[in-house]
Structure 1
Amino acid sequence: MWWIWCILGAIFCALFLKERMAGRNLRSVFLKAMTSTCFFLMAWQGLFQCQTISFGLWFVAACFFGLMGDVWLGLKWTYPKQDTMFTFAGFVCFSVEHFFLLMGLVLYTGHPVALLFALILAMILSYVVVGMEKKMKLKYGYFKGISLIYGSLLFSVPIFSFLLCCFHHFQGMYVWTLLAGLFFMASDLILSGTYFGEGKDRPIHIISNHILYFMAQFILAYVIWIC
């Protein structure tokens, strides 16, 4: 039945994008939250099919924090006076999401040294990316610190997933997790231009950012069904 949640998620995503193009309002926040809710419920239902419940729980929890992050970042546009608070809350929720993904993967596979290597490499990449803010015409301001932390966790997921692919002969589950991590990364690189740059909130940015993001969320939920 996972495909039912996928179809519902796609419908809500289309409605959200249409509303988001028209402007930023509570209706768009609601539709975005409903899209993520579909993928969260898909993940939750997949938990009953999952052969390794502990692994599935980490991924379900990750999807939940992704949903919460959607709500906070959606509210930042609706209530600009509380922009800073909502943005920080969104960063924290998405950081927790990626942390839970890493925990689920390392506890399931048992490769702590590989995870440590991935984290170190991800921290370096995050520092380089944030350090290039002037060249990228971005201004992180108060969010530079949390961006470094979040970037480290964000980059860790695809790096660690790639290592797991190498260790496990590119089994389907690890390939899917790698794809999810890459989609998250691409989505957030676009989003950083929208949040911290100028002139990067055009329809092409909005559509590509959210489609990549929701594809990543769908893949995470799907992984629970096949693990």
Structure 2
Amino acid sequence: MLYWIFLGIGIAATGVFLFLRVKFGGIAALYAKAVASLCFIMTAVAATNANPGAQRFGSLMIIGLVCGLLGDVWLDLKWIYLQDKDSYLYSGFIFFLLGHVCFVTAIFRNSDCTTKSALLSAGAALVIALVALLLEKPLKMRYGKFKWIVFLYSFMLSWTMTNAAVTAWFSGFQKRWVVMAVGGLLFLLSDLVLSGMYFGEGKNTKGNVILNHTLYYAAQFTMAATILCAA
């Protein structure tokens, strides 16, 4: 019951945040965003409490979601303290990366992963990360000094998705891993939009703001939902 309450509040808060962010900006939008972000963590906590058999899995997922929240805070601060924006951007990357480390660890510790499945998913993630670098010029983006952190983050982000997808395949498409693969894909799409906004030219538009945050919050709430699906 609490899961659905927090999910409903979170979805409503996300809608309010997007409206305020696009129309007005300012502190009211940040408050709405804080509520939405807190709710995806609370949905994960509620899901863990509702599924006693998923305590270990749920704990790792919650830590990953908290890292995502902290990463988002750092990224917001880069727009406030412009003189330190590079440091805040690095910090945001690092916390989001740590979040995906938690997600990948949750897969390894709660599934029957084999060396074959791990190598297959890691290889696929590496290919995606390399493609992200190779498409820098064709997509008219400039990573500059952030190229290597972009590569590392792209790898871990992609590994969440590919690891969940491969694990789903090897497990006969268990619901938990299918849902996590969808969450990983939503993260990937969100960050594809965000990278254009940060490193591209003329892409920091209202439309992209809405698309990025819609995909981002959908990803976070989907990750929280995996805990309910855990056996």
Mark yes or no: TM-score above 0.5.
yes
Superposition pairs of residues 144-223 of structure 1, within 5 angstroms? 144-223=147-226
Counterpart of 1:84 in structure 2 is 86
Alignment partners' CA distance in 2, 1:116 and 1:57: 25
Counterpart of 1:141 in structure 2 is 144
What's the offset of the Cα at 1:117? 2.7
What's the offset of the Cα at 1:23? 5.3
Give the counterpart of 2:75 among 66, 73, 76.
Answer: 73
Distance of aligned partners of 1:96 and 1:112 in 2 relative to their CA distance in 1, 3 Å threshold: farther
Kindly indicate whether the alpha-carbon contact (under 8 Å) linking 1:66 and 1:97 is maintained by their aligned counterparts in 2: yes
Kindly indicate whether the alpha-carbon contact (under 8 Å) linking 1:21 and 1:203 is maintained by their aligned counterparts in 2: yes
Distance of aligned partners of 1:156 and 1:166 in 2 relative to their CA distance in 1, 3 Å threshold: same
Do residues 96 (structure 1) and 95 (structure 2) align? no
What's the offset of the Cα at 1:202? 1.6
Kindly indicate whether the alpha-carbon contact (under 8 Å) linking 1:32 and 1:70 is maintained by their aligned counterparts in 2: no
Do residues 28 (structure 1) and 24 (structure 2) align? no
Larger CA deviation: 105-114 vs 87-96: 105-114
Alignment partners' CA distance in 2, 1:154 and 1:173: 18
Aligned-pair identity in percent equals 32
Instruction: Tell me which amino acid in the other structure corresponds to 1:21.
Output: V
Counterpart of 1:128 in structure 2 is 131
Q: Secondary structure at the match of 1:152?
A: helix
TM score, norm. by length of structure 1? 0.94
Instruction: Tell me which amino acid in the other structure corresponds to 1:17.
Output: L
Distance of aligned partners of 1:24 and 1:119 in 2 relative to their CA distance in 1, 3 Å threshold: farther
Deviation per CA, 1:17-45, whole angstroms, max 9, x where unpaired?
12221355344333222211101011112
Instruction: Tell me which amino acid in the other structure corresponds to 1:118.
Output: S
In structure 1, stretches of 5+ residues that fail to align are: none
Instruction: Tell me which amino acid in the other structure corresponds to 1:62.
Output: G
Kindly indicate whether the alpha-carbon contact (under 8 Å) linking 1:29 and 1:75 is maintained by their aligned counterparts in 2: no
Alignment partners' CA distance in 1, 2:15 and 2:80: 20
Kindly indicate whether the alpha-carbon contact (under 8 Å) linking 1:26 and 1:78 is maintained by their aligned counterparts in 2: no
Instruction: Tell me which amino acid in the other structure corresponds to 1:205.
Output: N
Alignment partners' CA distance in 1, 2:6 and 2:129: 34
What's the offset of the Cα at 1:164? 1.3
Larger CA deviation: 112-121 vs 148-157: 112-121
TM score, norm. by length of structure 2? 0.93
Instruction: Tell me which amino acid in the other structure corresponds to 1:82.
Output: D
Kindly indicate whether the alpha-carbon contact (under 8 Å) linking 1:62 and 1:98 is maintained by their aligned counterparts in 2: yes
TM-align CA RMSD: 1.5
What's the offset of the Cα at 1:110? 2.9
Counterpart of 1:44 in structure 2 is 45
Deviation per CA, 1:113-146, whole angstroms, max 9, x where unpaired?
2223322321232122112211110001111111
In structure 2, stretches of 5+ residues that fail to align are: none
What's the offset of the Cα at 1:224? 1.1
Counterpart of 1:62 in structure 2 is 64
